Structure 1
Amino acid sequence: MSNIINARVTFRNSPIHILEKFTFKDLDSAYESFKKHSGLNEIVILQTCNRVEIFGSTKEMNIGKIKKTWASLSGLEEVAFNENFEISSDDEVYEHLLKLTSGLDSMVLGEEQILGQVKEAMITAKEMRTSGEYLNTLFDKAIKIGTRVRNATGINKGTISVGSMAVKLAEENIDDLKTKNILLIGTGEAATLVAKSLNKRGYRFFVTSRTLQRSQAFSETVGGIPIGFEDVLSGFSNYDVLFVATIAPYFLVTYDRIRDAMKTKKTGMMILDLSNPRTVDEKVATIGGIKMMNLDQIAEMVDKNIKYRSNQRTSAEKIINEEAAVLRAQMRRLEVEPVVKEIFKDIDMKRAKELEKALRMLGETDQSKIKIIDDLTKAIVEGIISTPMNNLRRASEQEDEDILSAATKIFDYKKKD
């Protein structure tokens, strides 16, 4: 029996600057290496800003080989996988992929982009000739089910994250935002949402974090122009809009720094604090020319949207549970199809051989009569063999190994390498 596996590093366990280390710079090379060294017979690689995932089919699962191959490609030690690495197999993989295509495993519930990214990953794998019957079936079904979930629940409609709402508020409060200097402080989950929204709308922005290296890694993956943290702290007057999304346990944007910045600044400034706890001193809002909003205020604006999406999650999960059972049966049935095809082929060869002998004995040459006899023998064979073969398929779907084993012995089936 083939095992379907999924190995992944995602935003759920790893901040963006850590996740970036696990990505494959050369996807073609990654496919070649996994094909040669991981022990996987089929491979699909899904790589986005928020995740790097390997889907595979294998007869003998060897997690060590997968980690070793991945580590060699990313230049990491295998110990780096201890805290960030997740592994699933078979039924867990089916459920995970269905949640992915439906938007239930995204940073923003119902996010649409992931469905297209899954499709692209499948197309690439087919072009690389690394996917086969198992993964082609799995991904084709998952994409269809994901589309059905979205259409049935509307979970992707009106999806607004805290990050995109913050950008929308900046657009509503700042005239001609594209001509303004925008700064994003932070490289975590909330900062990623802001950066994606800014990119989607075509805004140029700067990004900073505690280290320039982290800012550079973030900008390469999500976007933005990296800038030194100390330069920012002494140069707030250079910016018109500040998105602050960090987890610092103290105020980064202080009253004194903004007060000093506004002394020389001729225009106003909007500050949106998406941090939890807050990292912008509330007293900053009292400074002339400053418009400030914090996470609670922004979250309140998207509360209705969040409630709607949460309600749709239940409906989506119900559909996924129903479809997952059907998908499991279809995947299990793949195991028995080669047996069924070979049995049909073997019996038909015997039928054709006996038909040829009978026609020679009859001396029959009338083609219309020969066709009638040929069709008759095919119908007889089909009538006899169809029921046991359909029962064999059902046994496969129900994982009845005893019937499968008995059938291969009865029909003397030998797997061809």
Structure 2
Amino acid sequence: MTTAAIKAAPSPTSSPTVAPVHIVNARVTYRNAPIHLLEKFTFKDIDGAHKAFLKKAGFEECVILQTCNRIEVFAASKNPDEGRLLEEWASAVGLPEKDFANVEVSRGREAVMHLMKLTSGLDSLVVGEDQILGQVRRAVEFSRSGRYASANLSLIFDRALKVGSRVRTATGINRGNVSIASVAVNLAEEYFDDLKSKTIMLIGTGEAASLVAKVLKKRNVNFMVTSRAPERARSFAETVAGTPIPFDSALEMLRKVDLIFTATVAPYRLLTFNRIENAMKNNRRQGMMIFDLSNPRTVDEKVATIHGVKLVNMDQIAELVGKNMRSRMKEISSAEKLIEDEMKSVDMMMKRMKAEPVVVSVFKNVDTIRERELKKALAMLGKKLGPEETKIVEQLSYAIVEGILSTPMNNLRKVTEEGESEELMKIVAKLFKYEEKQQQ
């Protein structure tokens, strides 16, 4: 510890940077609750929830992560009470405590390991997805800005975000699209030189159509959307994307369309052989590509025999998605190896933190003695010393303290990292009256 560090060393009873805390994680995810139940556990007032966990549940730090597939609370305290955490959660969202019986809870190293796997995409519904990394980063930044997370959780989250980024750059865990919509649009991009210059039609307004629309919108591609229910097409266009057109008009203008996505649950053929054959007449120069993403299929399979028409059905896309997913699954062991390597460093860091309150307390106690004896010495010397000489004597006092304490305190930290410090910590605490000071 440097001279400046001795001067600025904080009290172990008030500084979160040295307090030996324990981390707990409570979560409800897609693994243990369907989406419609998951929504009930969501915090409507995220700011108020943070405050409640700190002020009412007795935690010192808190980070809340909410996505469409999970709600998780990471909290840190010297003596974490998981029961109070769940009670406060239940109170905040207005659910009976019995509904929290299946909430997953992890503690200490297990909680940190879960966070590492989470940021690496190993705990996601779609293995290796990138979105979770940004969601975790925004969650911890929100907690920091509100002063709900300080040194302990910040350090753990920084490590987790670092390993999450490293996993994605060092492995193939996020390579290859595993979304039906993304794969379909990618295939269309490969087939046409420039999607933005094409006339595109989306038939359908359900969930599958919404996913396609979002991918197209993200790539700034314009498209028309149609449905047999005109009001649904208008509502879809307003909330998701696309230009709504009446269904009958859509069928009439097929001859001008280059790319069609059908994503409906209609129990009959929307695009028949005759309709597409007629659309390809009249000296049409460019071909047409059709994606049948409907279940059941809504495009006549004979359409594929028409010259200039490329038909891709759900089975073909699912095969590509499966291939990409299998490729990602092969990367899991490599990702876990990187996480384990990072966890070794985190383990040492967490063990070392147990010694910091004692180390800082010892330095502060000894520095109090140094300051007292320095004042005595300077008073005795009186005017015999000038400003320069006084400064040299003061620096000497700092150097003596640091020279005497640095080696034993660093050894205490080292022994703590090796996990063999319990008895030694007790001896040091007793020698320097640390326990007595803590109780005052």
Give the TM-score taking structure 1 as reference length: 0.75
Question: Using the alignment, how far apart are the partners of 1:273 and 1:263 within structure 2?
Answer: 18
Equivalent residue for 2:178? Answer: 161
Equivalent residue for 1:337? Answer: 356
Question: Using the alignment, how far apart are the partners of 2:413 and 2:346 within structure 1?
Answer: 14
Cα 1:53/1:388, change in 2 over 3 Å: same
Question: Using the alignment, how far apart are the partners of 2:226 and 2:141 within structure 1?
Answer: 33
Whether the 8 Å CA contact 2:185–2:216 is kept in 1: the answer is yes
Task: After TM superposition, give the deviation of residue 58 of structure 1 in Å.
Answer: 2.3
Out of 66, 89, 106, the position equivalent to 1:70 is: 89
Equivalent residue for 1:280? Answer: 296
1:170-319 matches, within 5 Å, as 179-183=200-204, 185=206, 197=215, 200-201=218-219, 224=240, 241-243=261-263, 254=267, 256=268, 258=270, 270-273=290-293, 279-280=295-296, 284-286=300-302, 293-302=312-321, 305-319=324-338
Equivalent residue for 1:104? Answer: 122
Out of 138, 163, 184, the position equivalent to 1:145 is: 163
Question: Using the alignment, how far apart are the partners of 1:264 and 1:59 within structure 2?
Answer: 69
The Cα offsets for residues 154-213 of structure 1, whole Å up to 9 and x where unpaired, read as: 544x441133213434566797778523436558xxx997676456346789899xxxxx
Task: After TM superposition, give the deviation of residue 318 of structure 1 in Å.
Answer: 1.2
Instruction: Among all aligned residue pairs of Structure 1 and Structure 2, give the percentage whose two residues are the same amino acid.
Output: 42
Whether the 8 Å CA contact 2:29–2:70 is kept in 1: the answer is yes
Equivalent residue for 2:64? Answer: 45
Equivalent residue for 1:402? Answer: 423
The SS at the match of 1:180 is: strand
Whether the 8 Å CA contact 1:43–1:55 is kept in 2: the answer is yes
Matched, 1:31 2:50: yes
The SS at the match of 2:401 is: helix
Cα 1:44/1:293, change in 2 over 3 Å: same
Equivalent residue for 1:415? Answer: 438
Whether the 8 Å CA contact 2:271–2:298 is kept in 1: the answer is no
Matched, 1:328 2:347: yes
The SS at the match of 1:374 is: helix
Task: After TM superposition, give the deviation of residue 406 of structure 1 in Å.
Answer: 2.2
Between 27-36 and 122-131, the greater mean CA deviation after superposition: 27-36
Question: Using the alignment, how far apart are the partners of 1:49 and 1:196 within structure 2?
Answer: 16
The SS at the match of 2:117 is: helix
Question: Using the alignment, how far apart are the partners of 2:224 and 2:98 within structure 1?
Answer: 36
Question: Using the alignment, how far apart are the partners of 2:224 and 2:67 within structure 1?
Answer: 21
> For residue 404 of structure 2, what is the amino acid of its counterpart?
I
Cα 1:111/1:98, change in 2 over 3 Å: same
Question: Using the alignment, how far apart are the partners of 1:402 and 1:149 within structure 2?
Answer: 39
Uncovered stretches (5+) of structure 2, i.e. residues with no partner: 1-19, 228-234, 242-246, 255-259, 280-287
- Which has the greater radius of gyration? 2
Task: After TM superposition, give the deviation of residue 415 of structure 1 in Å.
Answer: 2.7
Equivalenced residue count is: 379
Question: Using the alignment, how far apart are the partners of 1:138 and 1:146 within structure 2?
Answer: 12
> For residue 397 of structure 2, what is the amino acid of its counterpart?
T
Equivalent residue for 1:79? Answer: 98
The Cα offsets for residues 303-332 of structure 1, whole Å up to 9 and x where unpaired, read as: 664454344433222111011111122123
> For residue 111 of structure 1, what is the amino acid of its counterpart?
E
The SS at the match of 2:62 is: strand
Whether the 8 Å CA contact 1:4–1:56 is kept in 2: the answer is yes
Question: Using the alignment, how far apart are the partners of 2:366 and 2:211 within structure 1?
Answer: 60
Whether the 8 Å CA contact 2:24–2:106 is kept in 1: the answer is yes
Between 69-78 and 176-185, the greater mean CA deviation after superposition: 176-185
Question: Using the alignment, how far apart are the partners of 1:370 and 1:401 within structure 2?
Answer: 41
Between 39-48 and 97-106, the greater mean CA deviation after superposition: 97-106
Cα 1:407/1:28, change in 2 over 3 Å: same
> For residue 409 of structure 2, what is the amino acid of its counterpart?
M
Matched, 1:5 2:27: no
Whether the 8 Å CA contact 1:109–1:159 is kept in 2: the answer is no
Equivalent residue for 1:351? Answer: 370
> For residue 106 of structure 1, what is the amino acid of its counterpart?
S
Give the TM-score taking structure 2 as reference length: 0.71
Question: Using the alignment, how far apart are the partners of 1:205 and 1:88 within structure 2?
Answer: 48
Uncovered stretches (5+) of structure 1, i.e. residues with no partner: 209-215, 226-231, 245-251
What's the C-alpha RMSD, in Å, of the aligned pairs? Answer: 4.0
Question: Using the alignment, how far apart are the partners of 1:74 and 1:12 within structure 2?
Answer: 20
Equivalent residue for 2:134? Answer: 116
Question: Using the alignment, how far apart are the partners of 1:198 and 1:16 within structure 2?
Answer: 25
The Cα offsets for residues 61-120 of structure 1, whole Å up to 9 and x where unpaired, read as: 33333233223333333333344x221111111111112222332333332222222221
The SS at the match of 2:204 is: strand
The Cα offsets for residues 304-363 of structure 1, whole Å up to 9 and x where unpaired, read as: 644543444332221110111111221232333222112111101211222232333344
Cα 1:36/1:194, change in 2 over 3 Å: farther
Cα 1:170/1:62, change in 2 over 3 Å: farther
Matched, 1:365 2:394: no
Question: Using the alignment, how far apart are the partners of 1:24 and 1:94 within structure 2?
Answer: 23
Cα 1:22/1:182, change in 2 over 3 Å: farther
> For residue 160 of structure 1, what is the amino acid of its counterpart?
N
Question: Using the alignment, how far apart are the partners of 2:211 and 2:398 within structure 1?
Answer: 62
Structure with higher RCO (Cα < 8 A, 6+ apart)? 2
Question: Using the alignment, how far apart are the partners of 1:64 and 1:127 within structure 2?
Answer: 27
The Cα offsets for residues 110-136 of structure 1, whole Å up to 9 and x where unpaired, read as: 322222222211111012121122111
